[in-house]
């Protein structure tokens, strides 16, 4: 009997997802464990494996379909000896996504039931392809379609093209000496100011990140504290440890930062907290969320109980998590949760920045680049490698003095890295 393949729940909070890509086609054989599709959730893009073996008899939901509810049938799997005739009354295949422009034009086109208008010819004799709505609007506005660049499929002129052309200065395309850049790429559009652009659709990850950060900035009372940390001793210790490793591992400055962040939270747990309306939650372990940039957006894999792990273990675990994050292969429990976040932009040469808190966490530490600066020590000017570290704090659960005390402890660990090893 045919087996329904349904939209899986890939996280405890997932209610719907986007069927990003089918990796199997109708008629393909699959075995248990084969990856058959990629599902984009509100957190990550994840692979879906087949539970049963058989043949893909029918794909119900086309790739690219958004907002597919959990447990909805997305495909039919046929067992050995079965054919498409055995599927019966399966749900109708979901239509491929239709561009919003086409959807908007359909009712308007239906309002004027007239004979199909042949394709217009430009002054050069070339055919001009335009939607019925675009032709009507162009006629009403007195626009010459030969002067309009189409942004629809295969260069077809659509409603938006007419609206954009309407806002241009009269005769902008025909004045002597005036030139307009013509793009062969049908994905290139032009705004009302004549500026060319391409649209990059927002995936679910970026939508959720944008929503969460907007809510955080608008509802969480942020304040910021910055300290300067001298790195010379840390850099020397790092070099010595890496030299002795003989290639077995390679520690980064960020590994020391993660360790120092966790050790400071262990020493001063008042900063390892979250706000709720009923109580302040103070965590017993330092689960450090580390911001990682991926092709699909920002994600924060977690080094759990980082205060109990050595630098080598932190380094190895971070490399593994970051690599799988960029491939979209993290498990939900590897990026959901965390008690405190670290965001490091020092490798990009950024000297100082203030990060937005990742709710429900109470703090996030922003790490800038280390650079040589003049420092006064015992009345003498010395050249030291200095790194700016800015703590963003939720004032509801962490007071200014608490944040300042935490930063001082963190600074001590950074400037005396040996203390993290004992």
Which residues does residue 376 pair with via DSSP β-bridges, in sequence order? 381
pTM of the model: 0.63
Give dist(CA 157, CA 145) in Å, integer: 8
Task: Name the active-site residue from 123, 154, 222, 395.
Answer: 395
* Residue 151, pLDDT score: 80
Higher pLDDT, 74 or 32: 74
Residues 135-167 have pLDDT tens digits of 777 887 778 777 788 887 667 787 778 878 754
* Residue 109, pLDDT score: 40
The full set of domains in the chain, from first to last, is 3-86 (2.40.50.100), 111-197 (4.10.320.10), 205-420 (3.30.559.10)
pLDDT higher than 80, residue 116: no
Question: Which among 287, 315, 313, 311 has a CA at the least distance from the CA of 301?
Answer: 287
pLDDT band with cut points at 50, 70 and 90 for residue 278: very high
pLDDT higher than 90, residue 334: yes
Residues 292-315 have pLDDT tens digits of 998 888 899 999 999 999 999 999
Kindly report the average pLDDT of the chain as a whole number. 84
pLDDT band with cut points at 50, 70 and 90 for residue 32: confident
Residue 154 annotated to the active site: no
CB count in 10 Å sphere of residue 285: 16
**CA distances in angstroms from 359 to 220, 279, 329, 404, listed in the order given:** 9, 15, 23, 21
**φ, ψ (nearest 5 deg) of residue 152:** -80, -175
Question: Which among 55, 54, 89, 75 has a CA at the least distance from the CA of 6?
Answer: 75
* Residue 10, pLDDT score: 77
What mean pLDDT is predicted for residues 377-391?
96
Higher pLDDT, 320 or 173: 320
Whether the CB-CB separation of 290 and 300 falls below 8 Å is answered with yes
**φ, ψ (nearest 5 deg) of residue 72:** -70, 145
pLDDT band with cut points at 50, 70 and 90 for residue 106: very low
Radius of gyration of the chain (CA): 29
CB count in 10 Å sphere of residue 12: 8
* Residue 98, pLDDT score: 47
* Widest Cα–Cα separation across the chain: 91
* Residue 153, pLDDT score: 63
Residues 218-262 have pLDDT tens digits of 999 999 999 999 999 999 999 999 999 999 999 999 999 999 999
Higher pLDDT, 281 or 169: 281
Cis peptide before 254 (omega within 30 of 0): no
């Amino acid at each position: 009997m045919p087996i329904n393949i349904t939209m899986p729940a890939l996280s405890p909070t997932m209610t719907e997802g986007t069927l990003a890509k089918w990796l199997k086609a109708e008629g393909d054989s699959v075995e248990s464990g084969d990856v058959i599709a990629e599902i984009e959730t509100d957190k990550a893009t994840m692979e879906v494996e087949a539970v049963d073996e058989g043949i893909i008899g029918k794909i119900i939901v086309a790739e690219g379909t958004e907002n597919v509810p959990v447990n909805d049938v997305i495909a039919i799997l046929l067992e050995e000896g079965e054919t498409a005739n055995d599927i019966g009354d399966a749900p109708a295949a979901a239509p491929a996504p239709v561009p919003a422009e086409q959807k908007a034009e359909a009712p308007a086109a239906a309002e004027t039931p007239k004979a199909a208008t042949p394709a217009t010819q430009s002054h050069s004799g070339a055919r001009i392809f335009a939607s019925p709505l675009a032709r009507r609007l162009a006629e009403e506005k007195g626009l010459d379609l030969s002067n309009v660049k189409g942004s629809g499929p295969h260069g077809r002129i659509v409603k938006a093209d007419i609206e954009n052309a309407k806002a241009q200065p009269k005769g902008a395309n025909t004045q002597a000496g005036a030139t307009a850049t013509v793009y062969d790429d049908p994905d290139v559009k032009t705004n009302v100011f004549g500026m060319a652009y391409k649209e990059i659709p927002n995936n679910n990850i970026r939508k959720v990140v944008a929503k969460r950060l907007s809510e955080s900035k608008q509802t969480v009372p942020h304040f910021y504290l910055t300290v300067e940390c001298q790195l010379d001793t840390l850099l020397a210790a790092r070099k010595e440890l890496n030299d002795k490793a003989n290639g077995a591992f390679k520690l980064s400055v960020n590994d020391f930062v993660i360790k120092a962040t966790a050790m400071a939270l262990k020493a001063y747990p008042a900063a390892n907290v979250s706000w709720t309306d009923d109580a302040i939650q103070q965590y017993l372990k330092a689960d450090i969320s580390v911001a990682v940039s991926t092709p699909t957006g920002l994600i924060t894999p977690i080094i759990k109980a980082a205060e109990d792990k050595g630098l080598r273990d932190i380094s190895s675990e971070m490399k593994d998590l970051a690599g799988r994050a960029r491939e979209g292969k993290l498990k939900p429990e590897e990026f959901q949760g965390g008690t405190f976040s670290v965001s490091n932009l020092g490798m990009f040469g950024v000297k100082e920045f203030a990060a937005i808190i990742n709710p429900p966490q109470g703090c996030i530490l922003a790490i800038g680049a280390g650079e040589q600066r003049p420092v006064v020590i015992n009345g003498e000017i010395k050249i030291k490698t200095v790194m700016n570290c800015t703590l963003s704090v939720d004032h509801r659960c962490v007071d200014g003095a608490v944040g300042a005390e935490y930063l001082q402890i963190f600074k001590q660990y950074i400037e005396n890295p040996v203390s993290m090893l004992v």
